[in-house]
Amino acid sequence: MRDRIFITEADFDKLTRLVLSRRLSGVDAQHLSGLERELERAEVLADGQAFPPDVVTMNSEVRVMDLDSGDIKVYKLVFAPLAGSHNALSVLAPIGTALLGYRCGSIIEWRVPKGVRRLKILDVVCRTDAAGPHVGEGRMA
C-alpha cells in the first residue's frame, strides 16, 4: 500500500479544474492520468483545518535526494505555465506529480521516461498555500 498523501482543498479544486480543462483540450493527456490517480487517493483537508507543515503542496520549495545518485536538488512545485523558470517543476511532470502531498522523510518511486526515480523528501524549505506561508517548518534532522 502506498503512503497516504494530503492536499489542501484549494489545491485539490485547482488541480481538478486543471485536469478537466486539459482533458477537454487534449493537452498533456499522457500526464493527466497519474495526477488524477493521486487526486483520487488524496486526503483533502478543508480550508481552515490543521494542515501538516511538512507536506508538499503547490508552490512548495522542496529539497530532495535522489537515492540512486545521491544528488540533492531543490524544486518548486508549480502549475505548468510557470515551469520554465529556475528550479520550477510542473505538477504535470512525472516527478512533480509524485511529490505532491507527501511529507518530509517520505521516499517516493515514480516512473519517468528513463526508468524509475527514487527520491527522498528531505525538507519543505518554503510552502505558500491557502493557510499562508510556512518557511522551514518541515525541516528534518
Grid coordinates representing 128 are 505558500
Dihedral Cα 98, 100, 44, 19, nearest 10 deg: -80
Tens of pLDDT, residue by residue over 64-104, are 999 999 999 999 999 877 777 788 999 988 889 999 999 99
What pLDDT is recorded for position 23?
80
Grid coordinates representing 51 are 494542515
Q: Is the pLDDT of residue 141 over 60?
A: no
Q: Is the pLDDT of residue 134 over 60?
A: no
Rounded to two decimals, the pTM is: 0.80
Say if CB 117 and CB 66 are below 8 A apart. yes
Domains and CATH numbers, the chain: 6-135 (3.10.50.30)
Rounded to 5°, angle at Cα 97 from 92 and 101: 140
Tens of pLDDT, residue by residue over 19-53, are 888 887 776 667 788 899 899 999 999 877 778 88
The mean of the pLDDT values for the chain is 83
Average of pLDDT values for 117-127? 89
